[in-house]
Each structure stands twice: as C-alpha cells, then as structure tokens.
A and B are shown apart, each in its own frame.
Chain A
Amino acid sequence: MQIDFPHRQSAHCENGVVSNLMRFHGYHYSEPMVFGIGSGIFFSYIPFIRMGGIPVTSYRTLPGAIFKRFAKRIGMKVESKSYSSEQKAMADLDVMLEKGVPVGMLTSVYYLTYLPDAYRFHFNAHNIVVYGKEGNNYLVSDPVMETTTTISAEDLIRARFAKGVAEPKGRMYYPTQFPTEIDQKDAIWRGIKRAGFDMTEIPIFILGTKGMKYLASRLQKWPERLGDRKAIQYLGNVVRMQEEIGTGGAGFRFLYAAFLDEASSIVGNKELYDLSKELTASGDRLRDFAYYAGRVCKSRKTDVLSFAELADILRECAEREDKIFRRLHQLAKDNI
C-alpha cells in the first residue's frame, strides 16, 4: 500500500522522525519544537568511554531520550518493539506497512547506501521512517535528506541488525494513541525545566556546562600529554561531534535557540526570546571554536592557535551557557 508521507527535512534525525510522524497523524510540531519539548540539548565529555580509541564527546542527550520525553510530555503512547529474528522483524514491518502505518526505526548509518560515503561510519542510532514497499525496495523518509528515498531489503536488514555498541536489534516504533487535549505550554515549560536541570544542576563534573569546563581543562593539556598527532585527532573528533550532519550547527545550540524563539511566542514570554538571542551568541562562539580548531587540524601543527586559547573559548561558552540555562531553569520552575 502506498502511503502519502509528509516528508520534511530536518537537521537531526530523531527530531525529524518524531516531527514527520506527528505530521502524518495530523499534529504539527516543528523540529525545534520536538527538540525542545524532548529536552534534547546537553553536553558530556566522557574520557573513560572511547569510540575508536577517542574519548566520547556529545552535545546532546542519549539516543531515544528525546522521543521518550516528548511522548511523555505530550501524553501520547508509543509502541516500541525489538527483535532477535531478522525474518520476524521484516515480516512485522510488512504487516504494519500493509495497514498503512509508517514506522520509525533504528538503523546503522554504515549500511544506508543512499547516504554520502563520507558520512557512513558505524553509528548505530540513526532514526528513519519506512513508509512503504515497492517490490524488493522499501520507501524511506530519512530526515537528514531533502527528499524521500529507497533502500533494498538486504541493506535494510543489515542496517536494522547492525552489531557493535548499542545494537539496534531491529527496533521499530510507532505512535498508537494520541491525547485528546494537549497542554502545549505545560509541555514546553517541562521541557525547558529538564534541559535547565541537565545543563546546570547535575552534580557530576563531566556533564552539562561543568563538562564543557572539564573538556577545556583536559583539551589544554592534550598536546603535551598525547603528542601532536593524537591531540589533533582528539580535537578533530570534538569538532565532528559539534558540526556534523544532524546538529543544525554549533552542537545543537542553534536548534535549541530556534526552539526558544518559537516557544516564546507560544507561551507568550518575551524573556525566552532574549535568552534565545543569548544562546545564539554563545553558539556563535562555539562556531569560532570549530573554526580555529579546524585550522589547527588543517595545518597539523598544535601551535597555530594554541590549545590553551581554544580551551578559553570553550570556557567562555560554558560560562555563558551556564547563565542562560540557570535562568531558563528558574523561569520554568516559576511557570509550572
């Protein structure tokens, strides 16, 4: 059965899938809105977990958390299944498509042949929507793409059953029950409250704005601790996490600013708009960081713009974001 799926491009895959699925079911939530209500913004630098020998840096919450929180705050129910059998997983998918229900699923980027080669790493938490089947090909709405696309059944099986860290295990999900009445304002404030808490209040030094400061202090010592080659590799990874597809620029900061911008007119709070401006300014500074870090990486010498100077930019951003999210947290608490 052919479903008319309202595909729209988004910066980040998880928001995009939620936004597109909601639009299919007749609810209009823009990507920034989903990101904000789902409290997607975060920062963590986890030196003891490594991927490919490089410490993990992340500008967002855990994969899956945005959808979960969004569903909770809107009050909708989501059916989510994972499989141990490939045949069962694909058969269930076909049944859902037959019923005319588009299905969100977790895949590994490496096996999605329609994506540009340069981006195909083993990243197991990419979300796509499958909304139809044509012969041996599945019709795919991948939120990072401008248009819908197709993928062969073999590739889709590989992508759904990729191995390694956080295996997708054929996980697929679809909303089953929608609320009759949605309290938009409450959902927005709760989303902001959680984001404010995550960024400033968690008493662990590697999370939130504290994590940014910690990364700055570590980054400063990379050249002498690790040598030029490794230091640049590490730095390159931080920039990649900040600027690659899916971040909307400046490690999700612009995306969140877009949310605050939109939210301010919905809840009728002017201060949110001002804070959005401030977050934009702080995001600009993060882009400066990426710009200079890119130059350091390009020249392959660690002394072009010293790591200490890069660390200072990062510290400045941490300071600014700390102020912004403390204020947001307080505002949200006053308004719930």
Chain B
Amino acid sequence: MSRSRRCNRVAHFSLSLRTVKEEEVPQDDANMLQGKFRKLYYATDGSAHYKGVGSVGWEPENVVLEQAWEDIRERVAEAKEKVLAGEASPVLYHMERTLMTPDILAGHIGWPAFVVRLHLRPFFFGRLGRKTLEKYAYAFQISLEELTDITKIK
C-alpha cells in the first residue's frame, strides 16, 4: 500500500479524537490513580488560550500502563515458581517483586552487579553471611526471616 493511501485510512479513523478543548480532556477512569488525585492536562478554553484541567486518566495510557504491570506480574510468578522449585534463590523473587534489577541491588549491597547475579542462585545464596543478608532484607523492606524462609513466599 502506498503511503498516501495509508495516511488516508488513518485520517478516516481520527474522528472525535480532538483533545485540546477543555471539555474534551479525556476522563477514562481505570482506577490507576486510586482516587488520590487527578492529573493535570493542558487544554484550551473558550477563548482559545491554554489552562490546566484535571483528568482521571486516558484509555490508551491506562492500557499501556496495565500492560506494563501485567509483564511484571508474569515475571514475578515465573520467579516464584523457580524459587519454589529450588532453581533460584529468594533474591530473584524479591528482586522481581520490588521491580528491581541486579544493578539497583548492587547499589544496595555494595557489590558489583555480577555478584548479585551469582546470589540469584541457591548455591551462592546459601553461602551468604548475615551481614549481606541483612542488606538484602533492608533493600527489599522485609525481615531476615522473610528473606531466607522460602515457605513464606506465597
């Protein structure tokens, strides 16, 4: 298909999507903001000048945000299975749960990221001293028992 024809098809779709006007600022609530506040959009008022307008959300944004969280939930579930099967250490599960990466954890425990990657394996995790475990527990905002006892992962 030529480019101009593709453009036409798109143009045909884009009816009633104008969002510049004050009263047309989208209000698609998907409880993303949990009612804590409305976010500010800029839109034009009757005199065609700009002003701030509150919004509870816009559907496309809700969709992509929800999608990002779905990916995260999938990763957490995967990590949980691995830990319970003994293929990975609890660090993996808590890392995914708190949306961290080995690089972020490396900052918390004061070791390079490749060391953190080693700690994701049960063998190396089992050899960790209390001090390092405490640092991990602090980073994950849990107690030492919650970190080391994998039956607590539910």
Contact = CB atoms under 8 A, between A and B. Distances in A.
Q: What band does the interface of chain B fall in when counting residues whose beta carbon is under 8 Å from A?
A: 35 or more
Contacts of A158: 141
Contact of B33 (A116, A294, A312): A116
Given A280-B20, A309-B9, A262 B50 contact: yes
A253 to B, nearest CB: 9
Nearest to A254: B42
Interface string B102-126: 0111111000000000000000000
Contacts of A118: 32-34, 65, 69
Contacts, number: 155
Interface stretch (B54-62, B84-92, B146-154): B54-62
Given A118-B65, A292-B10, A308-B6, 20 more contacts: A9-B37, A32-B42, A110-B98, A119-B32, A146-B54, A147-B37, A164-B101, A164-B104, A232-B67, A237-B68, A243-B58, A257-B50, A258-B50, A277-B48, A280-B20, A284-B17, A284-B19, A290-B58, A293-B64, A312-B3
A268 B64 CA distance: 41
A293 B52 contact: no
Nearest to A287: B19
B59 A248 contact: no
Contacts of B130: none
A52 B65 CA distance: 15
Contact of A52 (B13, B25, B101): B101
A280 B41 CA distance: 13
B73 interface: no
The 10 A-B residue pairs with the shortest CB-CB distance, nearest first, are A294-B60, A163-B107, A258-B50, A164-B104, A236-B64, A243-B61, A254-B42, A11-B40, A146-B37, A116-B34
A288 interface: yes
